[in-house]
Amino acid sequence: MTSTPHIDPKGVDIAETILLPGDPLRAKFIAETYFDDIRCFNEVRNMLGFTGTYQGRPVSVMGTGMGIPSISLYSYELIHHFGVKNLIRVGTCGAMQENMELYDVVIAQGASTDSNYLQQFDLPGQWAPLSSYRLLEKAKRVADERGQRTHVGNVLSSDVFYGADPDALGRWMKMGILAVEMESAGLFANAAAAGVDALGIFTVSDKIGSDVKTTPEERQTAFTAMIEIALDLA
């Protein structure tokens, strides 16, 4: 397959390991900051994708847009049409537990969701979307070696950013959900259905119920730690 409805690599390879930030300009920044031998593999809808090498190993990065529908269609095409095997979402999350601080790193062991995306798999019960233990274990080890504060556990992939029910997140918090984001459950489901590996690594950009603001410098430092952990998985 040379191209799909949303990805037209024009002959540029896509690596087996890909980092997936939501923002395509973040993808460009990651490629320009960390990769050697950079080639752009996608410009369709400005959802920029790049392939290069990191410490001599091939790696790609591509924006996914926001929300489960968007990451699901890109991850589906990457897995089924371009042979991608390790899909690592990198992004921000809203922390939901007391012991969490801004800029902590969250590694998603699982992703609960209020989305209906999982219905399509027609399972006779509730299925728990999990990340790849192989990637999770390595990411945790790399983070520990860097002295990075991490939280590993269940995140909420929510379809709702501006919610009508002010108590909804509280009910998820009581079930031990660490943080809210908007994509991982779709990514983990697609990966599991195809037998490939996926992981989500996040920096805490906000705390639910608090209005503490972060500075661009602080965000950049935290972002760098998360990306370097993810790149070590390549």
The H-or-E segment that residue 227 falls in is: helix 216-231
- 206: exposed, middle or buried (Cβ count in 10 Å: 0-12, 13-18, 19+): middle
Please give the residues from 160 up to 189 whose contact with ligand ADE meets the rule CB under 6 A.
161, 180-182
What is the contact mask toward ligand ADE in residues 53 to 92, using x (rule: CB under 6 A)? ---------------------------------------x
What single-letter amino acid sits at 203?
A: T
Nearest distance from residue 74's CB to ligand ADE, in Å? 18
Q: Which of 47, 48, 62 is nearest to 17 (CA)?
A: 62
Rule CB under 6 A: say whether 232 interacts with ligand ADE: no
Using the minimum distance from each CB to ligand ADE, give the nearer residue, 94 or 186: 94
Active-site positions? Answer: 206
- Single out the residue of 9, 94, 110, 200 in contact with ligand ADE (rule: CB under 6 A): 94
How many Å from the N-terminal Cα to the C-terminal Cα in the chain? 24
Beta-strand pair 86-95/17-20: parallel
- Structure-token pair, residue 167: 């108590």
Which residues in the 192-221 window bind ligand ADE by CB under 6 A? 205-206
Q: Which residues bind ligand ADE (CB under 6 A)?
A: 92-94, 158, 161, 180-182, 205-206
